[in-house]
Amino acid sequence: MKNDLTISIAHLYPELLNLYGDLGNIITLTKRCEWRGIKVEFENIHVGDDIKSHDLYFIGGGQDKQQEEVAQELYSHKSELIAQRDDGAVFLGICGGYQLFGHYYQPHDKDKLKGISLMNAYTVAGKKRFIGNVTVKTDFLNPQTLVGFENHSGLTYLEDGTSPLGVSVVGNGNNGVDGFEGARFKNVFGTYLHGSLLPKNPHFADYLITLALEKRYGENIELAPLDDKFELDTHNSLINKAY
């Protein structure tokens, strides 16, 4: 693996969207870089801050109220973030953050929240809250599975050009109807999986780190392997586990 690698990571609005331990995703990304000697330049981005260029952006989930606060601020940065997307930056959005990656989120009995259209998708609040464990089968990861926990009433629908992360073999996923969970467009990823997601899915964390390094250095950089026995034992113990 190349030496003297650096990756820049931004956490968008951690004081507002950071539900059910979503901060664990930042900790996992940071540690899995540092354990390999990859320098991490990290920035928390708060309401009112400019958004600089980063290799990877993360945004967590939150209740409708926090989503409202973030939506307006995020929308003010829409063009910069679309430019970052088109430059190959990696985005990971969880639940409420994921919903704002689409064109809009329509809550119950409130005005529609504009999304930043990083992906061709939209969300409308459903009548039922989906709560429980989720197992997703993907076609791009090894192992193929992703495991986590969902808690949302939002129903997300993907439109042309946006692919799901995979199919929900356990749990409801995007809307409980089409069988899909999550979404991907270019290097933008969204999912309903809290848990937090990446500590129990180290292979997905490494996939995102690899994409972010490729964006920065313009080449595919193979990551040194880590001893993931504990993480993968946890992952495997949750596969197909509904309760």
Residues at the site binding ligand GLN, with contacts judged by CB under 6 A: 19, 61-64, 67, 95-96, 151-154
Question: Which residue, 30 or 153, has its beta carbon nearer to ligand GLN?
Answer: 153
Nearest residue to 165 (alpha-carbon basis) of 153, 177, 173: 173
Question: Which residue, 61 or 202, has its beta carbon nearer to ligand GLN?
Answer: 61
CB of 4 to ligand GLN, least distance (A): 37
Question: Which residue, 13 or 38, has its beta carbon nearer to ligand GLN?
Answer: 13
Pair 223, 209: CB distance under 8 Å: yes
Check if 95 is active-site.
yes
CB of 17 to ligand GLN, least distance (A): 7
Give how far Cα 228 sits from Cα of 26, 31, 208, 231, 235, Å: 17, 13, 16, 5, 10
Q: Is 148 exposed, middle or buried (0-12, 13-18, 19+ CB in 10 A)?
A: buried
How far apart CA 50 and CA 157 sit, in angstroms, is 30
Query: Coil, helix or strand for 212?
Result: helix
* Per-position DSSP letters for 32-98, written without gaps between them: HHHTTT-EEEEEEE-TT------SEEEE----HHHHHHHHHHHHTTHHHHHHHHHTT-EEEEETHHH
CB of 49 to ligand GLN, least distance (A): 21
Residue nearest to ligand GLN (CB): 61
Check if 33 is active-site.
no
- The single-letter code of the amino acid at 5 is L
Q: Which residue has the tokens 């939506």?
A: 71
Question: Which residue, 32 or 122, has its beta carbon nearer to ligand GLN?
Answer: 122
How far apart CA 196 and CA 75 sit, in angstroms, is 26
Question: Which residue, 125 or 226, has its beta carbon nearer to ligand GLN?
Answer: 125
Task: Check 95, 152, 203, 235 and give the catalytic one.
Answer: 95
CB of 19 to ligand GLN, least distance (A): 5
CB of 180 to ligand GLN, least distance (A): 16
CB of 30 to ligand GLN, least distance (A): 22
Task: Check 11, 152, 194, 203 and give the catalytic one.
Answer: 194
Query: Coil, helix or strand for 135?
Result: strand
Pair 11, 54: CB distance under 8 Å: no
Question: Which residue, 60 or 199, has its beta carbon nearer to ligand GLN?
Answer: 60
Q: Which residues belong to the active site?
A: 95, 194
